[in-house]
Amino acid sequence: MKILVISQYWAPEFGVPQRRWGWLTGLLREQGHEVTVLAPPAHYLRNISVREWVKMGGLQVKHEQELGPQNEEIVRTPFFPAGRSLTQRVLNQTMVAFGAIFTTIAHRKKFRGNVDLIIGTVPALPTAFATRVISSLLHTPYVIDLRDAWPDLLHEHKKWNLAVGEPSLRERLLRYGPAQITIVTADIVMNSCLSGAKGIISTSSLLLEKIQRTKRELQLRKDKPKGVVIRNVFSPETNFRKEYSSKVDGQKLRILYAGTVGRAQNLSNALEALRILANDGVQIEMRIIGEGAAKHHLQDLAAEGELPVKFLGRVSPRELDEHYMWADTALVHLTDWEPLKMAIPSKLYELMEVGMHVSAVLDGEAAALVKELQAGFVVKPENPQLLADSWKTLSANPNQIEVNRDGANWVREERVSVVPGALEKFIQDIG
């Protein structure tokens, strides 16, 4: 089968969406499919000047192709530089979506009759719209790969900036009229795109069930629309395996957070737990590794409270190994938005595979996984006292830090056996 993948992100960028689809492209290629990709040049999380953007041909439709890491053909699309604010991100994602449409029109002789299936992968919401339009242009069925609980997350927009402190003046001005119009429009468009899809790929069972239920209601169907759960169990960037040494009661408990420091995480909850422990005289220290919209606000909170937390930027896999070795437990943290009950942070799979004890501030399916695989403790989001109590208990009972290998074995089984079989069957059913 000839498959066209439409994405906001692709190699040589190296984030979660890129790693997910690099892995899935490899599986599709192994199963005998041809894969072509529509994606912009690498630009995400880079400070690109106007001069550099013009030099990169930011608004140009390119006719040359390149080969990706899995020998997939990549057709680069126009883009607009991304930024940290929500406004800049929306502008960037919208421009990339329309860039994919313009590129398809420019390459219509190449694509028409030579594509059997289109897959639009959506952490970027406008990609779903582009996928549906391109499907119509090429008269080809499409599938939506949905990593997050869209459009449900749109309805949490009033809470989006709680983790970043004071929103900018621009975001305050856009919060009311323009925000409501944008959200209602995006909600309608996203539901339309999901209802028109021939199948759905999801990263969690709860999210897939919810989408299938909505899709069935929108189409007034009695049968369940085709769907498959493909978890983000791609190989970790590291070969590190945690070996715990005996820890004496009273030694400092060392906590590591490595990941996105953003709105959906709201790590101020964890800092409040640290403040409670410091007031109780519990010896504890924390490292926060990563970048995101909430980082500066957290640094201010930590400085004001004189909290035992150290902030670092992004680090290489080898450097991350050193932090894994240092830590007693690794924090996986989401806030209490209802749609996040259907989300499973990709970092959770890596932590289970390397054998780290997990401090899980989660709800829903992710929390159930941690409990079932005995990978650590679980507390409800936005309850700093409960998190502080759990860390206090862990500090007083260091024997609880070492976890079994159930989580690591489960992740490897998903990657090696479950996902390849599920993906192959899904593509066959769609075709």
Confidence of residue 164 (pLDDT cuts 50, 70, 90): low
Q: What gap in Å lies between CA 268 and CA 298, rounded to an integer?
A: 6
* CA separation, residue 391 to residues 109, 166, 348, 400 (Å): 60, 29, 18, 11
The reported pLDDT for the residue numbered 87 is 67
Q: What gap in Å lies between CA 1 and CA 11, rounded to an integer?
A: 22
Confidence of residue 238 (pLDDT cuts 50, 70, 90): confident
Are the C-beta atoms of residues 366 and 360 closer than 8 Å to each other?
yes
Confidence of residue 418 (pLDDT cuts 50, 70, 90): very high
pLDDT at 171 over 60: no
Confidence of residue 210 (pLDDT cuts 50, 70, 90): confident
Neighbours of 63 (CB within 10 A): 11
* Mean pLDDT, all residues of the chain: 86
Are the C-beta atoms of residues 70 and 40 closer than 8 Å to each other?
no
Give the CATH number of domain 2-229.
Answer: 3.40.50.11930
What is the torsional sign of CA 311, 330, 315, 88?
Answer: negative
Domain edges within the chain: 2-229, 253-410
The reported pLDDT for the residue numbered 31 is 95
Per CATH, 2-229 and 253-410 having the same topology is answered yes
The reported pLDDT for the residue numbered 14 is 80
Are the C-beta atoms of residues 312 and 326 closer than 8 Å to each other?
no
Confidence of residue 43 (pLDDT cuts 50, 70, 90): confident
Reported pTM: 0.87
- Choice among 6-20, 81-95, 336-350, 368-382 with the minimum mean pLDDT: 81-95
The reported pLDDT for the residue numbered 153 is 65
pLDDT at 365 over 90: yes
- As a whole number, mean pLDDT of residues 156-161 equals 59
Are the C-beta atoms of residues 26 and 71 closer than 8 Å to each other?
no
Residue holding tokens 């769609």?
A: 430
- Choice among 140-144, 152-156, 183-187 with the minimum mean pLDDT: 152-156
CA dihedral 44, 348, 122, 25 (to 10 degrees): 90
Confidence of residue 410 (pLDDT cuts 50, 70, 90): very high
pLDDT above 90 covers a percentage of the chain that reads 56
Pick the CATH number of 253-410 from 3.40.50.300, 3.40.50.720, 3.30.1660.40, 3.40.50.2000: 3.40.50.2000
